[in-house]
Structure 1
């Protein structure tokens, strides 16, 4: 079947290649001035460029999708709504200060070694709360590591335990298993205190945040608002009854 018969810019009519065979058709498709074909050709070129960029980013990050959109303010001012974040598999480029076997540096370890990410000590991680594939992944900072059965109340910052006076008053204390205690930089309590997630197991971590591109995430958020998934988003901050800001699961 011949392509649409349309006039070329010089007033002629370009109905197809002069010769026959696939080579002639490919050559014609690449060089014709037929308006419809030019439009299709430009669309295909744009798709190829986008796919190529995606493959390069995936090759670097080891994570798909390699870019995620920030949905709200639990990590402000380090990350703001509409920022696009490039993430990398946590085992891709492991810092020397990382917790053994995880590839993640906690705030506590970062403070000891001088390792920083997004203006504070430790890594910002993307994790699935309680390991659930049905919950929206969360972007928060790894604060410190706990072992299974550990009473971590004395290790915690008193400002982030929502007024608890001892381990018995804290959810997830003693720790039900080994993992990271996490918190949004703009939140007033640990995720494990406000029951967003149990201590984050290494297998629940999707990657670490590496680079922020301001504003570009608004495109993904638009698709999210229209019902199209916008990839990983961190959760909106909501006040607890005592005024503490926390990030509830989606």
Structure 2
């Protein structure tokens, strides 16, 4: 009795070696989740922020960033000081074919909307009045309600702080430091279409796993 009990595999071993279709699928899903979690942990440790990657969803940064680009993000002060367009113009620092860093931020600090990926133009203090550039070549006077970054898409006609953003129910305010997710390090073209269509990708992967398990199971039965 004790010999048979000693030879009986444990629960983990039974799950690992089970040929039952449901167990096999659950095992594949668990493996995929573990791999994704491991990659996410590495990205967080390297970038120092989260999300560590974001996908470009609009054409506001064309031609320097395009829809479907997968952008790798780092904490603002990691891998060099964070520089605005004004800072970059003075220092010669260029990122994505223009002066200054591209910032990823949550508009008005809203966690319920996707982060915006635009260039940081300048830092303003509370109640400071500045002249902001427009695509027409003119400028517009703006008084900051509080300290923060003025931001603008490279392909947009005006800075974000002169724009109404319906997702936050009004005008975008200067970007406070605590609203900043990070800065853009580099981008990989087209790969960002995967997270933009994550539901469809997940369905396809699950279907492929089911088909694979079915085909392998049938072949083993025939043998």
TM range (shorter): 0.7 to 0.9
Give how far 1:73 is off.
0.3
Structure 2 counterpart SS, 1:148 = coil
Question: How big is the shift at 1:223?
Answer: 4.0
- Tell me what 1:140 maps to: 118
Q: Give the drift of 1:76.
A: 0.8
Query: Counterpart in 2 of 1:150?
Result: 128
How far residue 222 of structure 1 moved from its aligned partner, in angstroms, is: 1.9
TM-score, normalization by structure 1: 0.65
Give the alignment's TM-score, normalised by structure 2: 0.73
Deviation, 1:33, is 7.7
Shift in Å, 1:130: 2.0
What is the CA-CA distance between 1:115 and the residue it aligns to? 1.6
The correspondence for 2:108, drawn from 124, 130, 142, is 130
Q: Does residue 193 of the first structure (1) align with residue 162 of the second (2)? A: yes
Supply the distance in 1 between the matched residues of 2:14 and 2:108 (Cα, whole angstroms): 56
Q: In proportion to residue count, which structure has more strand? A: 2
The 5-angstrom pairing of residues 141-220 of structure 1 reads: 141-153=119-131, 156-157=132-133, 159-160=134-135, 163=138, 167=141, 173-195=142-164, 196-220=171-195
Matched, 1:121 2:99: yes
Could you list the runs of 5+ residues in structure 1 that have no partner in the other structure? 1-16, 96-103, 168-172, 227-250
| CA–CA separation in structure 1 for the residues paired with 2:111 and 2:37 | 26
Greater per-residue helix proportion = 2
When residues 106 and 51 of structure 1 are mapped into structure 2, their CA distance, relative to the original with a 3 A threshold, is same
Q: Secondary structure at the match of 2:160?
A: coil
Partner of 1:87: helix, strand, or coil?
Answer: strand
Q: Give the direction of change, closer, same or farther, for the CA distance of 1:223–1:33 in structure 2 (3 Å limit).
A: closer
Residue-pair matches, total: 190
Specify whether residues 68 and 122 from structure 1 end up closer, same or farther in structure 2 by C-alpha distance, changes over 3 A only.
Answer: same
Deviation per CA, 1:25-62, whole angstroms, max 9, x where unpaired?
544654x4836355544443333222211110011112
- The runs of 5 or more residues in structure 2 that have no matched partner are 165-170, 202-223
Cα offset for 1:19? Answer: 2.0
- Rounded to whole Å, the distance in 2 between the matches of 1:194 and 1:224 is 31
Q: 1:34 aligns with which of 19, 22, 43?
A: 19
Q: Which of 37, 52, 60 is 2:38 aligned to?
A: 52
Cα distance in 2 between the residues matched to 1:113 and 1:225: 45
Alpha-carbon distance in structure 1 between the residues aligned to 2:27 and 2:112: 39
